[in-house]
């Protein structure tokens, strides 16, 4: 489908017939005990015997001084200001270190991350994004790297021997961090798959036995973990483990949805209904007192917009977009979405709430940015403002059919880029360890990419593109290099597109752009309308590029359209047949 509809991740198909339900703990633990064991068996077997014996001997405490150093390194990683991207960081800065100190299995996962962090500090690269794209085969003989893998494998082994949903909740996050930090996005996708399957099992457990086995009051903790995985879920709709049409990214999760007769939307609704560690938001005050309050109101407003999803599905079904090869079909979908009074009502109400929230937030924001630039409030306020601007610029779906509303967002795009540049500069200044640039909750790279695609100011598009090239962080499993490569290619598309037609004709051609990432993000697919030099007609073309080596030297190769002219998203949905009713 179009680039924006693809990035909204809101399309979902009919439920199939599920397999019999299994106990949730069995669903969760089977994956790590069997699937992950298979995935890591070779690497774990290759770990030096000396290291393996050492781990067994010292598996229950910190008698090993090296493990103490690794654990301290882990604490520095999870207490980094970037990791929570402005959101409340108690899970990272307090809960995970506390649990890891007292829980053998979680401690080994934490030590693995600390050892990996030590390995990363030895790199010649000062950013995690650049480091993960480099050829690291030689340095993987480094003792810190081998120790990291040893502790990781040991945690997997212990988890398989001691089935515990309590441990599984924390391990789901830590294992994901580990694989993301070493650049194994395919394994990271497996952990996202597994974390989502675990959450589905917890939220659909009829008598809440699993939930209460975690802690006396587990729901606030589960809510935070669910928010993390829910934010990663959209990435799995665009980042495939293998090739298009043959590699469902989250099979355990989708099978669970089918078996329990749920959809992604109903799953998200359950996540949003989990009680938090704060009371429900009351009437918005004229001025907010603190950044925590802004976060609560912003999350509440964001969750309320889920009501638009069934209406979007209706528009998709009414237009037949998924089976049409008409190049104008995408603009017709946007026209139907824009004209739907129900969608308009939801979007207008959301815009009104966002403006009220901004008015209450700006005095607080201005105080925060006048504080010390190294203070927690300064950095957090910038990240929260970036989250807000991302919502304002891209979440009103009635603004995409015509070009004028997009042009009107130029000041918002400009402010986003200004704040993003400050945030990136702070990260490069303060986060000397590349591992501290990891975040599972940051979406800055994806928003920079959307600005590079949709902003109508060419200079701002270029600015977003250059920020992507030098982007230091690792946002979930996004590959910022892939996003930069696409942004660069889009400059060529924009130039050719501008050669003919009115502003609205040019805009509607651009709405046909579509992109996907194969092989965990290492290969990019880009579809767009190109002008045939012979006939003068605008035809859909598909290009691919392998993200390897010097970015500006990478060549794009053209191939026949994978979906015979239909939107690629139609093929993607065949991998998610459990997602709609």
- Which pLDDT band, with edges at 50, 70 and 90, does 91 fall under? very high
Which residue has 């065949």 as its token pair? 574
pLDDT at 280 over 70: no
C-alpha angle with apex 263: 262 to 267, nearest 5 degrees? 80
* 569 in Cβ contact with 322 (< 8 Å): yes
CA dist 146 and 47 (Å) reads 7
pLDDT at 107 over 70: yes
- Which pLDDT band, with edges at 50, 70 and 90, does 6 fall under? very low
Give which of 30, 47, 117, 127 is closest to 77, Cα–Cα: 117
Percent of the chain with pLDDT over 70: 83
Q: What's the count of helices (H) and strands (E) in the chain, helices before strands?
A: 29, 6
For residue 574, give both structure tokens: 């065949």
Q: What was the pLDDT predicted at 328?
A: 87
pLDDT at 139 over 70: no
CA dist 387 and 415 (Å) reads 12
SS (HEC) of 479-544: CHHHHHHHHHHHHHHHHHHCCCCCHHHHHHHHCCCEEEEEHHHCEEEEEEEEECCCCCCEEEEEEE
For residue 502, give both structure tokens: 């009115």
Which residue has 């996708």 as its token pair? 189
**Average pLDDT of span 265-287:** 83
CA dist 50 and 239 (Å) reads 38
Q: What was the pLDDT predicted at 28?
A: 46
Q: Which segments of 103-238 does DSSP mark as H helices, in order?
A: 104-121, 128-133, 143-161, 165-181, 185-203, 209-212, 219-232, 235-238
pLDDT tens, 242-254?
A: 888 777 778 899 8
CA dist 579 and 257 (Å) reads 7
List the beta bridge partners of residue 523: 518, 546
pLDDT tens, 64-80?
A: 889 999 999 999 999 99
Q: State residue 17 phi and psi, 5-degree precision.
A: -95, 125
Give which of 86, 114, 88, 87 is closest to 100, Cα–Cα: 114
Lowest-confidence pick of 120-124, 266-270, 333-337, 553-557:
120-124
Convert 290-305 to b/e letters by CB count within 10 Å (16 or more is b). ebebbbbbbbbbbbeb
pTM summary value: 0.89
Which residue has 């830590």 as its token pair? 174
Lowest-confidence pick of 54-68, 160-174, 180-194:
54-68
Convert 357-391 to b/e letters by CB count within 10 Å (16 or more is b). beebbeebbeebbeeeeeeebbbbbbbbbbbbbbb
Cα 162 from chain centre: 30
β 438-439/474-475 pair status:
parallel
**Average pLDDT of span 162-169:** 88
Q: What was the pLDDT predicted at 504?
A: 96
115 or 1, which is more confident? 115
pLDDT at 25 over 70: no
428 or 579, which is more confident? 428
Which residues, 6 or more positions from 60, have their beta carbon under 8 angstroms from its beta carbon? Answer: 104
Q: What was the pLDDT predicted at 161?
A: 87
**Sheet containing 557-559, strands listed edge to edge, beginning at the edge strand earlier in sequence:** 514-518, 523-531, 538-546, 557-559
**Average pLDDT of span 468-475:** 91
DSSP 126-144: SSHHHHHHS--TGGGGSHH
Which residues, 6 or more positions from 385, have their beta carbon under 8 angstroms from its beta carbon? Answer: 361, 365, 419
- Which pLDDT band, with edges at 50, 70 and 90, does 8 fall under? very low
For residue 316, give both structure tokens: 């998709």
- Which pLDDT band, with edges at 50, 70 and 90, does 319 fall under? confident
Q: What was the pLDDT predicted at 1?
A: 47
pLDDT tens, 496-545?
A: 999 999 999 999 999 999 999 988 888 999 999 999 989 999 999 999 99
pLDDT at 17 over 50: no
DSSP 8-state code for residue 557: E
**Average pLDDT of span 169-174:** 95
**Average pLDDT of span 538-566:** 92
- What is residue 440's three-state secondary structure? coil
CA dist 213 and 524 (Å) reads 43
Q: What was the pLDDT predicted at 9?
A: 36
User: What is the overall mean pLDDT for the chain?
Assistant: 84
For residue 575, give both structure tokens: 């991998």
Q: What was the pLDDT predicted at 62?
A: 65
**Average pLDDT of span 128-142:** 64
Q: State residue 524 phi and psi, 5-degree precision.
A: -110, 140
Q: What was the pLDDT predicted at 61?
A: 58
For residue 157, give both structure tokens: 């082994």
pLDDT tens, 353-407?
A: 999 999 999 999 999 999 888 888 999 999 999 999 999 898 888 999 999 999 9
* 248 in Cβ contact with 571 (< 8 Å): no
pLDDT tens, 405-441?
A: 999 999 999 999 999 999 999 988 888 788 999 999 9
DSSP 8-state code for residue 94: I
Measured from the Cβ of residue 23, the count of other Cβ atoms closer than 10 Å reads 13
Lowest-confidence pick of 130-139, 150-159, 277-286, 493-502:
130-139
Q: Where is 450: in which H helix or E strand?
A: helix 444-454
pLDDT at 156 over 60: yes
Cα 558 from chain centre: 28
CA dist 244 and 221 (Å) reads 35
Q: What is the CA radius of gyration of the chain?
A: 23
* 113 in Cβ contact with 77 (< 8 Å): yes
Q: What was the pLDDT predicted at 125?
A: 64
Q: What was the pLDDT predicted at 560?
A: 92
DSSP 8-state code for residue 270: H
pLDDT at 57 over 70: no
For residue 79, give both structure tokens: 């207490």
Cα 422 from chain centre: 22
* 96 in Cβ contact with 78 (< 8 Å): yes
SS (HEC) of 18-83: CCCCCCHHHHHHHHHHHHHHHHHHHHHHHCCHHHHHHHHHCCCCCCCHHHHHHHHHHHHHHCCCCC
């Amino acid at each position: 489908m179009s680039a924006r509809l693809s990035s909204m991740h809101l399309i979902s198909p009919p439920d199939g017939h599920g397999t019999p339900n299994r106990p949730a703990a069995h669903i969760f633990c089977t994956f790590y005990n069997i699937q992950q064991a298979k995935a890591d068996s070779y690497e774990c077997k290759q770990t030096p015997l000396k290291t393996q014996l050492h781990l067994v001997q010292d598996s229950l405490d910190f008698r090993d001084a090296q493990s103490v150093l690794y654990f301290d390194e882990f604490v520095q990683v999870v207490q980094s200001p970037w990791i929570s991207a402005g959101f409340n960081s108690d899970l990272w800065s307090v809960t995970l270190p506390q649990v890891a100190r007292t829980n053998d299995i979680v401690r080994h996962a934490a030590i693995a991350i600390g050892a990996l962090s030590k390995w990363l500090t030895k790199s010649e690269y000062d950013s995690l994004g650049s480091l993960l794209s480099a050829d690291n085969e030689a340095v993987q003989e480094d003792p810190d790297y081998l120790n990291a893998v040893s502790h990781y494998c040991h945690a997997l082994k212990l988890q398989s021997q001691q089935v515990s949903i309590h441990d599984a909740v924390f391990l789901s996050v830590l294992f994901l961090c580990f694989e993301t930090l070493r650049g194994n996005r395919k394994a990271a996708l497996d952990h996202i798959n597994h974390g989502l399957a675990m959450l589905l099992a917890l939220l659909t457990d009829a008598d809440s036995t699993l939930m209460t086995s975690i802690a006396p009051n587990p729901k606030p903790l589960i809510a935070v973990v669910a928010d993390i995985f829910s934010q990663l879920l959209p990435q799995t709709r665009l980042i495939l483990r293998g090739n298009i049409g043959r590699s469902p990214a989250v099979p355990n999760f989708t099978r669970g949805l089918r078996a329990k007769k749920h959809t992604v939307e109903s799953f998200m609704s359950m996540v949003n209904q989990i009680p938090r560690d704060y009371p429900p938001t009351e009437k918005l005050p004229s001025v907010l007192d603190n950044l925590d309050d802004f976060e609560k109101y912003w999350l509440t407003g964001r969750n309320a917009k889920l009501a638009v999803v069934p209406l979007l599905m209706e528009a998709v079904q009414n237009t037949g977009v998924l089976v049409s090869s008409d190049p104008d079909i995408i603009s017709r979908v946007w026209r139907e979405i824009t004209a739907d009074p129900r969608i308009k009502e939801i979007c207008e109400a959301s815009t009104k709430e966002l403006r009220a929230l901004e008015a209450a937030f700006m005095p607080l924001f201005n105080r925060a940015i006048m504080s010390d630039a190294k203070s927690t409030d300064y950095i957090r306020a910038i990240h929260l403002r970036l989250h807000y601007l991302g919502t304002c610029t891209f979440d009103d779906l009635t603004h995409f059919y015509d070009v004028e509303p997009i042009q009107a967002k130029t000041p918002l795009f400009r402010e986003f880029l200004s704040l993003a540049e400050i945030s990136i500069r702070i990260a490069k200044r303060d986060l000397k360890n590349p591992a501290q640039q990891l975040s599972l909750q940051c979406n800055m790279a994806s928003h920079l990419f959307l600005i590079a695609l949709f902003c109508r100011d060419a200079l701002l598009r270029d600015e977003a593109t250059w920020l992507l090239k030098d982007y230091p962080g690792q946002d979930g499993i996004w590959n910022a290099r892939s996003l930069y490569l696409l942004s660069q290619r889009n400059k060529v598309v924009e130039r050719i597109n501008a050669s003919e037609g009115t502003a609205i004709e040019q805009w509607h051609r651009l709405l046909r752009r579509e992109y996907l990432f194969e092989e965990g993000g290492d290969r990019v697919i880009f579809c767009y309308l190109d002008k045939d030099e012979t006939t003068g007609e605008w035809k859909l073309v598909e290009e691919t590029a392998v993200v390897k080596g010097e970015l500006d030297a990478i060549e794009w190769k053209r191939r026949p359209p994978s979906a015979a002219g239909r939107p690629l998203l139609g093929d993607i949905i065949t991998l998610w047949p459990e997602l709609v009713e």
